[in-house]
Amino acid sequence: MSGSGSAVSPKTLDRLPDSRKPAFRMRRILHGLGPVFILVVHLGCLLLLWTGLGVGAVVWATALYLVRMLGTTAIYHRLITHRSYAAPRLVWWLGSLVTASAGQMGPSWWKAHHLSHHRHVDTAADPHSPLTTDNGWRGFWHAQVGWLLSPDFHPASLPPDVEADPVLRLIDRLHIVPPLALAWLSWQIGGVEWLAAFCLSTTLLFHGVASVNSVAHLAGDQPFATDDGSRNNRWVAWLTLGEGWHNLHHAFEASVRQGYTLRRGELVTLPDPTYRFIRLLETLGWARRLRYPSERALQSRARLRPRS
């Protein structure tokens, strides 16, 4: 800055609105690399036409999918965003690195963007509702992919609790580094074929997570009363290791377990691998204070006429 006629003094900088501060602009540029990365991995899947996919590459792609999906669901979603359990800082940091390597952006962006969905669910201000912008295929397309290019992609503000942690803030701004490092590692281990496997795994993971935004607001049953279109969808639950029980999630955002439903007035648990993983963390001493809704609370939210 020094020596330049356009240098801005610290006092002047303080008076600038946030949107004109260099740090704000830099943050938007860094966050904007996320959609570019997602586009590139989609194109990277074309490499499969040349390389095919051997057994080793299939195992690699599958392992990357499962581990990074658990990072997204157990760490970004249930820990950092909804605080449905407590965990040592190391779990937050390592989990964020793993999840960022899936192209899921950084923890500050993810939490801010997702909380905006909960706050404005299925209204015009929801960043990725399939029910408001357009109905039918266009609404689905917006919730699945189109939201990446919408102005709502950039949250108005970032969550203070995540921003207060310098490690998480660094991972958030440099979120593009872990996925590039993992792409490079894949290439080092198995050449172009494993790089293609990385692209395939990352693309499938992106669509798996996005299916919670799209499919789980369009298809499935609604055993719990909520003011939105959220639904329990078993196919999305399998793809996302338990996040497809989305009607329960909107009814009880802080519940560490999402696999609940009601059948003829009886409370029934559903497969929820993410919850099992968090229970494993608990056994190892890396998770504590798991939060559950009481059976009475669950019963009290029963929709009088369940929709399916």
Positions that interact with Zn ion (CB under 5 A): 230
Q: Based on CB atoms, which residue is closest to Zn ion, 72 or 230?
A: 230
How many Å apart are CA 16 and CA 34, to the nearest integer? 27
Cβ atoms of residues 191 and 180 within 8 Å: no
Cβ atoms of residues 160 and 115 within 8 Å: no
Q: Based on CB atoms, which residue is closest to Zn ion, 102 or 143?
A: 143
Minimum gap (Å) between residue 249 Cβ and Zn ion: 6
Residues in the chain: 308
Give the residue nearest to Zn ion (CB): 230
Minimum gap (Å) between residue 217 Cβ and Zn ion: 6
Q: Which residues contact 295 (CB under 8 A, 6 or more apart)?
A: 267
Q: Based on CB atoms, which residue is closest to Zn ion, 179 or 229?
A: 229
Minimum gap (Å) between residue 246 Cβ and Zn ion: 5
Instruction: Write b or e for each residue in 28-52: b if 16 or more Cβ atoms lie within 10 A of its Cβ, otherwise e.
Output: eebbebbbebbebbbebbebbeebe
Of 15, 129, 110, 118, nearest in space to 72 by CA:
110
Minimum gap (Å) between residue 229 Cβ and Zn ion: 8
Of 96, 63, 234, 233, nearest in space to 174 by CA:
96
Q: Based on CB atoms, which residue is closest to Zn ion, 230 or 261?
A: 230
Q: Based on CB atoms, which residue is closest to Zn ion, 96 or 230?
A: 230
Of 231, 261, 114, nearest in space to 293 by CA:
261
Minimum gap (Å) between residue 190 Cβ and Zn ion: 35
- CA 156 from centre of chain: 18
Q: Based on CB atoms, which residue is closest to Zn ion, 201 or 230?
A: 230
Q: Based on CB atoms, which residue is closest to Zn ion, 230 or 255?
A: 230
Minimum gap (Å) between residue 26 Cβ and Zn ion: 28
Sign of CA dihedral 11, 14, 15, 20: positive
Minimum gap (Å) between residue 12 Cβ and Zn ion: 40
State how far the alpha carbon of 65 is from the alpha carbons of 188, 255, 258, in Å: 19, 24, 20
